[in-house]
Chains A and B, each alone.
Chain A
Amino acid sequence: MSEFSLYLLQQLINGLTIGSTYALIAIGYTMVYGIIGMINFAHGEIYMIGSYVTFIVIAGLLGMGMVSLPIILIIALVVAMFIASTYGWTIERVAYRPLRGSNRLIPLISAIGMSIFLQNFVVLSQGSRDVALPPQITGGWNFGDPSVFEVSLSYMQVLIFIITFISMTLLTLFISRSRMGRACRACSEDLGMTNLLGIDTNKIIALTFIVGAALAAIAGLLLGLYYGVVNPFVGFIAGLKAFTAAVLGGIGSIPGAVLGGLILGVTEAMTSAFFPSEYKDVVSFGLLVLILLFRPSGLLGKPEVEKV
């Protein structure tokens, strides 16, 4: 293969890595929007908290002298998912549920407030500076001719692919097969009717927040380990990107969120391959504008049909 195509392959790998984590976060936006039609702007903060919890747990376990990396990672994952889910549930309970049924704008403002609150809460409790964790998973595979261009696929990237894939598969099974998933789908089609069939939809909505937060925590762990650094502000931009991914794919659609995340990730990687990397946000948000202009309901979203 030529140097150019190897270079493209490398960027594709990098793009898919980031894109799959965008997808994990985007699912949280899209599920909540699908059911109650609101944008949970505090969702990015959940991702950030997931990252912090991961760092704290890993540093703590290493400090206690634990050496087995897989066990450390599993504990960190479980704890991060649990704590993030608790935050997700609490946010819904405290900041959104009391406002349900009011004008759509009001929960949105509450969400922005919640986002600012959580960001500052982490600044106060953890400090506003970058917190770094030495790389835990090092090494990888290199292929391609070293004299032309060497493509590297790190173990960390492979881990990201595997965990994302497993999470998405479990989520798909949950949504399509389980009784709770069935109720979630019913809620997203007609919340009022689901209520009338005797289902406590508040519980289903709470569950949606919990599942979304758990997925964001997984992304928090993966991206935290990938970049090796976290600060209280990473949630904002990651949240914005994931939100873009959700809109790109068609907000309300879970496969759309995944597709949108991957497209966004690859677009960013390809842009930074040929232009200064500062342009990547310009291109990805430009893409969003184009999609909204020509396909307002997103790639996989169903166009709103005017009900008679």
Chain B
Amino acid sequence: MSQLLLDVNGLTMRFGGLVAVNGVNLKVKNRQIVSVIGPNGAGKTTVFNCLSGFYIPTEGSVMLKNEQIAGLKDYQISRKGLVRTFQHVRLFQKMTVIENMLVAQHRHLNTNLFSGLLKTPNYRRLEKDAMEHAAHWLKEVGLLEYANREAGNLAYGQQRRLEIARCMVTQPELLMLDEPAAGLNPNETKELDELIIKLRDEHEISILLIEHDMSLVMGISDHIYVIAQGTPLANGTAEQIKGNPDVIKAYLGEE
């Protein structure tokens, strides 16, 4: 139950002479919500980029289910069950909501080109399964009625939820959300909060979160890591972090 899903050790990322991330350690267990917080420019997104294969880390190991994934291509990492969102919405804006969901299942529709052209029974069955799976997740995030809308025409909060649903149809074990609450109103943030908890409790996945909304982070995180200027500063439960003088100093500056 509480096995180690992601184990990051000594993650370091240098761009020329600039050390963006310096010896970061992260552990995410199964069915855990883990947050990474830190002041702007602390290197949180760089950590995400290293984990998701966007950058190849200069040093350190990234183990997903006891398997080294540092250095793999981004699509290989996502196939191993680690998917992410970005700070800004990256939907396929000109495609419909349902098409966004189907593209994400592309590789599960493991058929060749010709069966697609000829629409073989097997192909139809797989398409139908993908459609049902997509519909299921659209319902979970409350977007089923918008299935045939162009994704770009949805409200911002809906686009955020669609992104999460699109990640979920790829059947990840670890979902990484980069500032999912950015730009949401308090109501939408609350819905997001409930959705993230539901993902952990009902769908049994782990979530790694970067977030600035402290009430969201403190309310839902099982464990919190604090990074400042690329270097790990503290980690612990919400209570421990709230009372940590180093963290307060990093956020508010010294007197």
Give the chain B neighbours of A186 by CB distance below 8 A.
Answer: 92, 95, 103
| Cβ–Cβ contact A197 & B83, under 8 A | yes
Q: Is B75 positioned at the interface, with any CB of A under 8 Å from its CB?
A: yes
Contact of A185 among B52, B90, B95, B166 (CB under 8 A): B95
Given contacts A186-B92, A190-B92, contact A198 B79 (CB under 8 A): yes
Contact with A along B101-115 (1 / 0, CB 8 A): 011101101010100
| Cβ–Cβ contact B78 & A183, under 8 A | no
Give the chain A neighbours of B170 by CB distance below 8 A.
Answer: 197-198
Please, how many angstroms separate the alpha-carbon atoms of A74 and B117 in the complex? 19
| Cβ–Cβ contact A178 & B117, under 8 A | yes
Give the chain A neighbours of B116 by CB distance below 8 A.
Answer: 178-180
Contact of A189 among B52, B95, B104, B107 (CB under 8 A): B95
For A179, A193, A196, the residue with the greatest tally of chain B CB atoms inside 10 Å of its CB is: A196
Given contacts A179-B116, A180-B113, A182-B103, contact A195 B92 (CB under 8 A): no
What's the dominant secondary structure at chain A's contact region?
helix
Number of A-B pairs whose CB atoms are under 8 Å? Answer: 70
Contact of B92 among A178, A179, A185, A201 (CB under 8 A): A185
Q: Is B127 positioned at the interface, with any CB of A under 8 Å from its CB?
A: yes
Please, how many angstroms separate the alpha-carbon atoms of A182 and B83 in the complex? 20
Q: Is A123 positioned at the interface, with any CB of B under 8 Å from its CB?
A: no
Q: Is B173 positioned at the interface, with any CB of A under 8 Å from its CB?
A: no
Cβ of B227 to closest chain A Cβ, rounded Å: 23
Please, how many angstroms separate the alpha-carbon atoms of A185 and B91 in the complex? 12
Q: Is A199 positioned at the interface, with any CB of B under 8 Å from its CB?
A: yes
Q: Is A3 positioned at the interface, with any CB of B under 8 Å from its CB?
A: no
Contact with A along B67-108 (1 / 0, CB 8 A): 000000111001100011000001011110001001110110
Q: Is A200 positioned at the interface, with any CB of B under 8 Å from its CB?
A: yes
Q: Is A194 positioned at the interface, with any CB of B under 8 Å from its CB?
A: yes
Give the chain B neighbours of A195 by CB distance below 8 A.
Answer: 73-75, 78
Please, how many angstroms separate the alpha-carbon atoms of A196 and B73 in the complex? 9
| Cβ–Cβ contact A197 & B94, under 8 A | no
| Cβ–Cβ contact A199 & B95, under 8 A | no
Query: In the complex, what residue of chain B is closest to A308 when comparing beta carbons?
Result: B88
Given contacts A196-B84, A198-B107, contact A182 B74 (CB under 8 A): no
Cβ of A131 to closest chain B Cβ, rounded Å: 34
Give the chain B neighbours of A174 by CB distance below 8 A.
Answer: 117
Query: In the complex, what residue of chain A is closest to B166 when comparing beta carbons?
Result: A197
Query: In the complex, what residue of chain B is closest to A204 when comparing beta carbons?
Result: B106
Please, how many angstroms separate the alpha-carbon atoms of A201 and B75 in the complex? 9
Give the chain A neighbours of B117 by CB distance below 8 A.
Answer: 174, 178
Give the chain A neighbours of B75 by CB distance below 8 A.
Answer: 195-201
Cβ of A83 to closest chain B Cβ, rounded Å: 18
Query: In the complex, what residue of chain A is closest to B111 when comparing beta carbons?
Result: A179
Please, how many angstroms separate the alpha-carbon atoms of A194 and B102 in the complex? 12
Give the chain A neighbours of B113 by CB distance below 8 A.
Answer: 180, 207
Task: Show 26 residue pairs from A and B whose CB-CB distance is below 8 angstroms, ordered by the A residue.
Answer: A179-B102, A179-B116, A180-B116, A182-B103, A185-B92, A185-B94, A186-B92, A186-B103, A190-B92, A192-B74, A192-B90, A195-B73, A195-B78, A196-B52, A197-B83, A197-B103, A197-B104, A197-B170, A198-B78, A198-B104, A198-B106, A198-B107, A198-B170, A200-B75, A200-B107, A201-B75
Across the A-B interface, the 4 shortest Cβ-Cβ residue pairs: A198-B78, A186-B103, A189-B92, A193-B90
**In the complex, given contacts A190-B90, A199-B103, A199-B106, what are 5 additional A-B residue pairs having Cβ atoms less than 8 angstroms apart?**
A185-B99, A193-B90, A195-B73, A196-B83, A198-B78
Please report A residues at the B interface, Cβ cutoff 8 Å.
174, 178-180, 182-183, 185-186, 189-190, 192-201, 207
